[in-house]
Amino acid sequence: MAIDQQELRRIMGHFATGVAVITTKDKDGTSFGLTANAFTSLSLDPPLVLVCIDKTVQCYPCFEESKLFAVNILNEEQEEISRRFATKGIEKFAGLKWRTSERGLALLEGAVAHIECKIVQAHEGGDHTIMVGEVLSAWADGDRPLLFFKGKYHRLP
């Protein structure tokens, strides 16, 4: 018998993670984004990361259109931004401090790291798609990341 979805979510919540906002863009260059913690490094040579994207998210087609995404790893004071980018049907960028990279991707001010990627593979993963990104540029500064554990936000001591 398949495990109950809520129970699987509860159990997986024991795996502590950081929190990222993944941004991408549509064919007109308009920015979109979502909060994600199903993000991991994959390979150093070649430099690859992956992020798992729910097939129902609003910006899902943008990943296929642009073949690009940026990972903004949030700092401990960006919980509101995480909540905002995890809310459907709102204007997510309104009033936010961010800039557009040379590749047209939204980079959020205050993030502890920015990683820009070109999608080189997309794998079926049930109700998600595993987007494998080749790292085009990366920057990190800051040692106070926002954390997520057992369904709640946390900070380093």
Ligand X SMILES: Cc1cc2nc3c(=O)[nH]c(=O)nc-3n(C[C@H](O)[C@H](O)[C@H](O)COP(=O)(O)O)c2cc1C
Q: Which of 91/102 has CB closer to ligand X?
A: 91
Backbone angles phi, psi at 20, to 5 degrees: -125, 150
Out of 30, 40, 43, 58, name the contact with ligand X by CB under 6 A.
58
Query: How many contiguous H segments (helices) and E segments (strands) does the chain have?
Result: 3, 12
Check residue 152 for interaction with ligand X (CB under 6 A).
no
Residue 113: CB minimum distance to ligand X, A = 16
Per the CB < 8 A criterion, the answer to whether 18 and 145 are in contact is yes
Check residue 52 for interaction with ligand X (CB under 6 A).
yes
The sign of the CA dihedral 103, 109, 115, 121 is negative
Do you find a cis peptide bond into 145, omega within 30 degrees of 0?
no
**Cβ-Cβ contacts under 8 Å for 89 (sequence gap 6 or more):** none
Check residue 14 for interaction with ligand X (CB under 6 A).
no
Out of 30, 41, 87, 121, name the contact with ligand X by CB under 6 A.
87
Check residue 147 for interaction with ligand X (CB under 6 A).
no
Binding site for ligand X (CB under 6 A): 19, 34-38, 52-54, 57-59, 85-88, 148
